[in-house]
Structure 1
């Protein structure tokens, strides 16, 4: 699964040809969750509250880039890296 961003110890990935709705996979210190791209909400799994809040804001800031990556993933095309919340 391609990594599209890493920031504050959070690893954000996206699978090619994954199931709808459009989402990212987030990992943080043993926690894992699926995050809806459109809302930034945890739809499956569990994350610490602060990490979930960071990801929600990050999704809102990068929604267009995430959507473009989702579309690429559905076509099995290479995904683009997205700047992290720490500007890395």
Structure 2
């Protein structure tokens, strides 16, 4: 599970050859959620409100990079790191 970014205790990962809609995973402590890259909707799981808002802000800024990484993961290539939220 390649980590593509980490900030404020939130870990963002993408997995190789996952199916379905383009998405990424966010983990914060014992909480985790899967986010649709195109709509930024939560597909599964949940995060505390503050962590969820930070993930959404970060993903909005980096949506194109997330899509590039999704394509890389579909080819079993290592995704590129993405600048964390500051």
| C-alpha RMSD over aligned residues | 0.8
Point out where structure 1 has 5 or more consecutive residues left out of the alignment.
none
Partner of 2:59: 59
Partner of 2:39: 39
Aligned equivalents of 1:29 and 1:60: distance in 2? Answer: 22
Aligned equivalents of 2:74 and 2:46: distance in 1? Answer: 25
1:47-72 deviation line (CA, Å, top 9, x unaligned): 00111111111111001100000000
Where do 4+ consecutive residues of structure 1 move more than 3 Å? none
Partner of 1:16: 16
Aligned equivalents of 1:41 and 1:48: distance in 2? Answer: 15
Aligned equivalents of 2:12 and 2:85: distance in 1? Answer: 11
TM-score, normalised via structure 2 length: 0.95
- Indicate conservation of the 8 Å contact 1:42/1:52, yes or no: no
CA shift, 1:9, in A, is 0.4
Aligned equivalents of 1:52 and 1:43: distance in 2? Answer: 13
